[in-house]
Amino acid sequence: MAKKKVTQPKHLRVKLVRSMIGYKRDQRETVKSLGLRKINQVVEVQDTPAMRGMINKVIHMVNVEGVE
């Protein structure tokens, strides 16, 4: 019996849900480098280890979901 291959999403949808005010400068710059500027703004980014590391750094300010 053939096993089904589980594919990882190739893009991630990232939404800024908290204000950057009051956070450290490097976290604010990370949010900006993800392409987010305003609250509730949504961007799609490539699913790479670098992007995942940036998202993990500011996970308390963003919502993330996979897009296929």
Q: What number is the average pLDDT over the span 18-43?
A: 96
What is the predicted pLDDT for the residue at 8? 66
Q: Domain map of the chain by residue range?
A: 20-67
Protein fold of 20-67:
Ribosomal Protein L30; Chain: A, (3.30.1390)
What SS3 string covers 13-48?
EEEECCCCCCCCHHHHHHHHHCCCCCCCCEEEEECC
Global pTM reads 0.82
Q: For residues 14-37, give the mean pLDDT.
A: 97
Comparing 7-11, 14-18, 29-33, the range with the smallest average pLDDT is 7-11
* Percent of the chain residues past pLDDT 90, beyond the cut: 82
| Mean pLDDT of the 14-42 span | 97
Q: How many CA atoms lie within 13 A of 55 on its CB side?
A: 22
